[in-house]
Amino acid sequence: MRSAMTLLEELLPEEFNTKEDVLEQLEIKEKEFYPDGIAHCHYCNGEDIVCLEVLGAGDGPLFWLCQGCGELHLMKGPRKTRTLLKKAYGSFTNPKTWGYNSSEDYN
C-alpha cells in the first residue's frame, strides 16, 4: 500500500475554526473506520487508495485517501482521530531536515 504525508493545515479549509468539529470541517462523510484497509472508495468506487499520515498526529497513517475523488476514510475511530488531529494542529516541518536530497542536488 502506498502512503503519503501531509500537514493538517493542507487538509483544512481556509476558514477553519478550532471550536468546531474538525472531522466535519474536513468534510468526512462517514463515521465508520477501517483499521485494516478498504478495497475501494465508498463514494466513487475508485481503487487507487493510499495511506495518509498527518504530520504531528501520532505515529503512522490516520486516513485512507482516495486518489480518484480525494475522499478521506477513517483508519481510527472518530474520537481517537479528533484527539490526534488536535495534537497535529500547528505542526511545522522543514523539508531540508528530512534526510534526503532534492532533485536540484542531482543537476
In a domain, 19, yes or no: no
Neighbours of 9 (CB within 10 A): 15
**Predicted confidence band of residue 100 (pLDDT cuts 50, 70, 90):** low
**Average pLDDT in the chain:** 85
In a domain, 100, yes or no: no
In a domain, 99, yes or no: no
Give the pLDDT confidence of 15-47 residue by residue, as tens digits: 888 778 899 989 998 889 999 999 999 999 999
In a domain, 44, yes or no: yes
- Spatial distance between the Cα atoms of 87 and 79, rounded to a whole number of angstroms: 13
Give how far Cα 38 sits from Cα of 10, 13, 42, 69, 89, Å. Answer: 23, 26, 9, 15, 26
Give the pLDDT confidence of 49-97 residue by residue, as tens digits: 999 999 889 889 999 999 999 999 999 999 999 999 988 887 766 666 6
In a domain, 87, yes or no: yes
In a domain, 70, yes or no: yes
In a domain, 102, yes or no: no
- Spatial distance between the Cα atoms of 24 and 2, rounded to a whole number of angstroms: 26
In a domain, 35, yes or no: yes
**Domain assignment of residue 63, given as a range:** 3-14+25-92
- Spatial distance between the Cα atoms of 28 and 5, rounded to a whole number of angstroms: 18
Q: Please give the tally of structural domains in the chain.
A: 1
